[in-house]
Structure 1
Amino acid sequence: MHIGYAAMLERFAPSEAVELAALAESHGFRGVMAADHFQPWLPRHGQSAFVWSVLPAIAERTTGDIGPGVTTPTYRWHPAMVAQASATMAAMYPGRHWLGIGSGEALNEHVVGRYWPEAPERINRMFEAVDVIKKLFAASAAGRDVRHSGPHFTLESTRLWTMPQTAPEILVAAGGPVTAKRAGRTVDGLITMDAPPERLELLLARFAEGARDAGRDPSRMPKVLQFHLSWAPTDEEAMANAMREWPIAGMRIGKGDIRSPFEFEQLARGVRPEDLADRLTISADPDVHRAAIQRAFDLGFDRVYLHNVGRNQTEWFEVFGREVLPKVRR
C-alpha cells in the first residue's frame, strides 16, 4: 500500500524535516508530501521553511515519490514560476515528482499585499493557473514557445528550458464537490483532507464524473488523501498532543480567510477535546489508526500521507512501521 509521510515544514526546522522524512522511509513509509507555507498555523509551531528548497534535500535522502501538497500558483507565485520549479524537480528526480496545486489560504498568500478574493474567484484563478502550467509543460516538451492571455494571468511567448522527459502529474486539492468534478475534467489527480466517509465518497464520485466527462478513466487517476492523526503511548497523551499541537482541527469555522498565526491561536483557544472527536483520529491503539487508514483505501484512495500531530515522530514511525503499515490491505 502507498502510505507516505506528510512532512510538516510548519512544525519542524528544515534539517530536522529532512531527517524525519528519511527516518520515515526506513520504517516503511513510501513517499513524502510537504505544503508550501509562508507562515505556520500557530506561533508555537515555530517554522515555515521554503518548500522548494526542502523538497530536493528530502529527495536526496529518500527514494519514493515527492510533491508539494500543495502549492498555490496564483498570489505569491506566478504559474510560470511554479511550472519551472516543478519541471526542475522532475528533471532531477525522474518518475518521483508530482505537482499538487491548491487555491490558497490568506495565511500564506496575503503577505504580498494583494486583494484577497472570495472562494469562487480563488478557485477560478487556480484553474487558470493550471491551464498556464499545462501549456508550458506541453509546449516545452515539444520544443516550442507558448503564450497565454486570460482574465487573471498573462504569459508572454516563452518556454521552460529545463524540462523532464515526462511532465509531472498535476493534482488539484479539492474540499468541495464542484471543485472535485472540475479537477476530474482538468488535471491528472485529486488531493483532499481526511473527512467523514460520506463526504469523501461524494468528492471521489464527483471527481470520477468529471474524469468520465473528459473521456478519461478515473480508476487510473491518482487520488491522494492527507490524513491527520494523534498517536501516543496512552490515550491521554494522544489527546494532549492533539489539543496542544493541532487544535485547528477542531475549529468549526472556515480557515481560508484567517491571515495570522496569532489569529489562529486566539480562535483555537475555544476548542475543546470533544470538538476533535470527528475531525482527528486520536488513540494509543494502533489498530484504531489502522482501521481508519484502511477505510480510506476502501473508499478508493490510492495514496495516503500521514501526519502525526505530536512531536513524538520517531516513536510513532517505529510503532506504525511495525504494527500499522504492514496490515493495511487494498
Structure 2
Amino acid sequence: MRIGYFLSCEEYTPAQLIEQARLAQAAGFKGLWISDHYHPWNDAQGQSPLVWSIIGALSQAVTIPVTTAVTCPIMRTHPAVIAQAAATSAVMHDGRFVLGVGTGEALNEHITGERWPFAEERLDMLAEAVEVMRRLWEGDFVTHHGRYFTVDQARVYTLPATPPKVYVSAFGPKAIEVAARIGDGYISTSPDADLVQQFRQLGGGDKPAQGGFKGCYAPTEDEGVEIAHRLWGTSGVPGELAQVLPSPKHFEQAAQLVTPEMTREALPCGPDPAKHAEKLKAYEAAGFDEVYVANIGPHYADLIDMYRREFL
C-alpha cells in the first residue's frame, strides 16, 4: 500500500501548503491529495484558497502525483470549466494529475444561489458531468444539451498526452454503483472493506482505491485532542448533515454534538506512531491501494518527519 500526504486547503495558507508538499516529497510520501473547497468547515480553520492555483504552484514544487479529494463539478463550477482546469493541471504535472470528483456539500456549492439537489439527483448530475469532461478531453468541439448541462461549441485546446483519470468518491450503495460505472478509481475517507468490495464487484475491478484520514501531531495526546477538536470537531458531525449544512456557522453549531472524547477516539492525536499504524493497517485490511494522511494544526513538519522515520 502506497502512503501519500493530504493537503488541507481549509486550514493552511498557500505558502504553507506548498511547504508541506515539499516536505512530504522529501520525506518519501508517494503522492498528494488536495481538498477543493470554497469555505472551510468552520471559522477556526480560517483558510480556503482556490485549489487550481495551488495545483499550478505544486507543479513547480514537486514531482509526485496530485489528486483532488475531491472536486464537485456539478454546481459551483461548470464541468466544461473543470475539464479545462484538469487538462491544464495534467499538462503541468506531466500526466501525474488525477481528478477526484464527488457530489459535494451545500457548504461549498450553494454559493451561486442554485437549489441544492437531493443526493440521487446529484449522482445523476455527476455522471453527466464526467461524460461532458471526457468528451472535451478528446480534443474536438463539443456541443451538449443534456438533462443538467449545456455546452455550446466548446473545445479544450491545452490537453495532456492522455486524458486525466477520474476517481469517484462514494459512501452509499447508489454512489458506489455510480463510482464503479464511471470512475477510473475509487476515493473514500472510511476504511470500509464492504464498500471497496462492492466497488470492485460492481465493475471497479482492480482499479485503484484511495483512502484518507487526518491525524494531529502534538507534543502530548491531550494537546493533540484539544487542537483536533477545536479545528476539526466538525468531522464528527453525523449522517448526511455534512452534505446539507450551508455555512461554517452551521457546522460550528452541529459540532457542539461532538465531544473531545469522540475526537480522541476518531483521530490519532499526539506523538505516538502506533495510533497512525492502526489507521494505516485498517485501510490496508479494507483493500485500499493508497492511503493519504493529513495533519491538523501547526505541527505538520513533525508529523511528516514521524512518517519518514516510522513508515516511509
TM-score, normalising length: structure 2: 0.94
Structure 1 counterpart SS, 2:243: coil
* Contact 1:102–1:174 under 8 Å retained in 2: yes
1:222 aligns with 2:214: no
Aligned mates of 2:238, 2:157 — CA distance in 1 = 46
Measure how far apart 1:284 and its partner are: 3.4
Aligned mates of 2:195, 2:173 — CA distance in 1 = 5
2:25 is aligned to: 25
2:244 pairs with 257, 269, 276, which one? Answer: 257
1:270 pairs with 253, 257, 260, which one? Answer: 257
Structure 2 counterpart SS, 1:294: helix
2:274 is aligned to: 287
1:211 is aligned to: 203
1:174 aligns with 2:207: no
2:193 pairs with 197, 201, 211, which one? Answer: 201
Aligned mates of 1:317, 1:152 — CA distance in 2 = 42
Aligned mates of 1:19, 1:89 — CA distance in 2 = 19
Q: Structure 1 runs of 4+ off > 3 angstroms?
A: 281-284
Alignment of 1:119-138 (within 5 A): 119-137=119-137
Letter of the aligned partner of 2:19 in structure 1?
Answer: E
1:238 is aligned to: 224
Aligned mates of 1:276, 1:127 — CA distance in 2 = 34
Aligned mates of 1:76, 1:317 — CA distance in 2 = 33
* Contact 2:295–2:303 under 8 Å retained in 1: yes
Measure how far apart 1:28 and its partner are: 1.7
1:311 pairs with 279, 298, 305, which one? Answer: 298
* Contact 2:106–2:243 under 8 Å retained in 1: yes
1:46 is aligned to: 46
2:188 pairs with 182, 186, 192, which one? Answer: 192
Comparing 240-249 and 40-49, the one that deviates more: 240-249
1:7 is aligned to: 7
Measure how far apart 1:282 and its partner are: 3.4
Aligned mates of 2:143, 2:122 — CA distance in 1 = 22
Letter of the aligned partner of 2:306 in structure 1?
Answer: V
TM-score, normalising length: structure 1: 0.89
Aligned mates of 1:168, 1:104 — CA distance in 2 = 20
Cα deviation digits, residues 95-116 of structure 1 (max 9, x gap): 3101011101111111111111
Aligned mates of 1:159, 1:248 — CA distance in 2 = 40
Aligned mates of 2:196, 2:257 — CA distance in 1 = 32
1:150 pairs with 146, 151, 156, which one? Answer: 146
Measure how far apart 1:283 and its partner are: 4.9
Measure how far apart 1:299 and its partner are: 2.1
Measure how far apart 1:257 and its partner are: 0.8
Cα deviation digits, residues 143-165 of structure 1 (max 9, x gap): x3232221101112332111111
Cα deviation digits, residues 277-311 of structure 1 (max 9, x gap): 55333353202211320221232211111112232
Cα deviation digits, residues 203-262 of structure 1 (max 9, x gap): 1111112216xxxxx22x111112122332322122112211210122224211111111
Aligned mates of 2:21, 2:289 — CA distance in 1 = 20
Measure how far apart 1:93 and its partner are: 1.7
Cα deviation digits, residues 26-55 of structure 1 (max 9, x gap): 112222111111111110111110000011
% same residue: 37
Query: Which blocks of at least 5 consecutive residues in structure 2 are unaligned?
Result: none
Measure how far apart 1:59 and its partner are: 2.2
Aligned mates of 2:51, 2:173 — CA distance in 1 = 28
1:161 aligns with 2:147: no
Aligned mates of 1:151, 1:279 — CA distance in 2 = 40
1:73 is aligned to: 73
Aligned mates of 2:26, 2:302 — CA distance in 1 = 13
Aligned residues: 311
Measure how far apart 1:87 and its partner are: 0.6
* Contact 1:178–1:206 under 8 Å retained in 2: no
1:298 aligns with 2:274: no
Q: Give the root-mean-square deviation of aligned CA atoms.
A: 1.6
Structure 2 counterpart SS, 1:33: strand
